Amino acid sequence: MEEWRILPFRKADAVENMAVDEALFRESIRKKSPSTLRFYGWRVPALSIGYFQDYEKEVDGEACRRFGVDIIRRPTGGKAVLHEQELTYAVIAGVDSHLFSPDILNAYRVISNCIAQGLAEIGVRTEMKGDGRQAPDGTLRSSCFSSPSRYELLVGGRKICGSAQMRSHGVFLQHGSLLLAFDPFRTCAVMLPHRDSKTDADHLRNAITSVGEHAGTSVGEEKLRRVLQEGFERVLGIRFREGRLTSEEQALKDELMTKKYGSEDWNRKGRSRE
């Protein structure tokens, strides 16, 4: 049976969370490290924006400062996500694995199956959209959760998990968010453009749901981590061994925190000091 590394759950700030994900990805390219699954949380609320997003047009920096929300640019694409009451996952693996394929959508489909298996264990029945759909007119389009992409998960037609991926040199990183709770007004407040706050919030409420809404507030991070890990094991036919960052991954993480994710040039403009 194939063995994957799983890293211990921890909460960190936005700079460290993104630096760890990229360090795992880049070191896997360099050394062909073991496939890795990581679950993590956010010590301080943060708005992550996609690699290609326009900070000035889609982020309300003043509202983020007022609410104590950090801003971070992800290395992956997609739209903005407010990370607050959620569990975040990251998968780093080779595209040449027999479990995946060079097709980027195949990885989304396989990982969504793993997540769906885990959610089913806590009574959350999902459906997978084989095709994406446009956000309804008036929806806050800067939000990742406003409409599902292909092979993302819905409950009752509402998106419950948002994911993004990058790949290079035969390795992919996919990370995503499972909301434990969702506040549409707070989400609208930190993203642009602002229109009618109640209308925008209603649109998001109709497009987005959370684990807590369907499984109850008794399902917290620990239980959700456990059932999701079991979902990965069952779908992929693998077993996990707990591991730590290697010394090389740790060193690269520290460098990325300083030179990239801790830099305003990166987070506002997408330019790092590397």
Compute the average pLDDT of residues 189-208. Answer: 91
- For residue 260, is it within any domain? no
Domain span including residue 230: 2-243
Q: Is 82 left (phi over 0), alpha (psi -120 to 50) or beta?
A: beta
Q: Is 114 a catalytic residue?
A: no
Residue 8: alpha-carbon gap to chain centroid: 17
Query: Quick check: is 185 in a domain?
Result: yes
pLDDT per residue as tens digits for the range 40-56: 999 999 999 999 999 99
Q: Would you state the pLDDT for residue 143?
A: 61
Q: What is the rounded distance in angstroms from the CA atom of residue 156 to the CA atom of residue 62?
A: 35
Q: What is the pLDDT of residue 145?
A: 60
Backbone angles phi, psi at 160, to 5 degrees: -115, -15
- Residue 129: what pLDDT? 76
* Burial class, 86, CB count within 10 angstroms (exposed 0-12 / middle 13-18 / buried 19+): buried
Structure tokens at 6: 């799983």
Helix 104-120 with 221-236: angle, nearest 10 deg: 120
DSSP letter assigned to residue 191? B
User: CATH number for the domain including 182?
Assistant: 3.30.930.10
The domain total for the chain is 1
pLDDT value of residue 137: 52
Between 104 and 116, the higher pLDDT residue: 116
> Per the domain annotation, does 200 fall within a domain?
yes
92 in a structural domain: yes
> Tens digits of per-residue pLDDT, 65-82?
999 999 999 999 999 999
259 domain-assigned: no
Residue 28's identity, in one-letter code, is: S
Of 114, 144, 161, 188, which residue is the catalytic one? Answer: 144
127 falls within a domain: yes
Residues 190/64, Cβ–Cβ less than 8 Å = yes
Contacts of 270 (CB under 8 A, 6+ apart): 51, 52, 73
Residue 101: predicted pLDDT: 79
Q: Does residue 68 sit within a domain?
A: yes
Q: Is residue 253 assigned to a domain?
A: no
Q: Which residue has the tokens 């991926």?
A: 165
CA of 245: how far to CAs of 4, 7, 21, 91, 109, in Å? 13, 8, 11, 14, 27
Examine the pLDDT at 133 and tell me if it is beyond 70: no
Full DSSP string of 195-261: --HHHHHHHHHHHB--HHHHH-TT--HHHHHHHHHHHHHHHHTEEEEE----HHHHHHHHHHIIIII
Mean pLDDT over residues 111-135, rounded? 86
Partner residues linked to 153 by β-bridges: 128
